[in-house]
Amino acid sequence: MSVTESLLQFALVAALLTVIPGLDTILVLRTAISRGRAPAFATAAGICTGTVAWGLAAALGASALLAASEAAFTVLKIAGACYMAWLGISMFIRTFRNGPVEPVDVPQAPSSRGAWLTGVTTSLLNPKVGVFYMAMIPQFLPQDVPPLLMGILLPLVHNVEGMLWFAGIIVATQYARRWLQSPSVGKATDRIAGVVLIAFAAKIAASKA
């Protein structure tokens, strides 16, 4: 797998993770509504900063494991495939449950600096982000390419997609709010993304080191 192929494949997975409404999206949306564009963009930048930190930690940790044992790569590959399958299945099953989605309370930041810190903290303390990166980064490390380099490039791909998504939410707050709160749109998004994630999990499980 070349660097280009690795980045393109990771971009697909990262895009799905980005557009699925979660805590990060809710945090940026709430900040845009209550505090304005500048704090909202600062919050998004903070989230992206935390993403880079997770990517570096995952790449460096995976580097040590891969250097120590080929079996470690197999374990990480299986872990990544299982996680993606679990995420996809959970999302798909959730769409058949009745009842409205309960609102999530997120912190309010009074300034751009405070908003950035809130974004960083939210990203670093979000276990889903940590598990995603620790499980998935090793799957996208080409041979003979420094893990540190990929630990920077992969999160940057995720950040570009994330900032584009957040920018659309911030600029069109009211429209994004209605779309995200629509039960039909939410179920359709989860079902499509769930199927794609399950298929990607199968590809990972069948891949060779």
Interval 32-52: pLDDT, tens: 876 778 888 999 999 999 888
Interval 47-102: pLDDT, tens: 999 888 887 877 777 555 555 666 766 776 777 678 778 877 887 887 787 654 44
Number of domains in the chain: 1
Supply the pTM of this predicted model: 0.63
Instruction: Name 99's Cβ contacts closer than 8 Å, sequence gap at least 6.
Output: none
Domain that residue 190 falls in: 3-206
**Other Cβ atoms within 10 Å of 50 Cβ, number:** 22
The whole-number pLDDT of residue 105 equals 39
| Residue 67 and residue 147 in contact, taking contact as beta carbons nearer than 8 Å | no
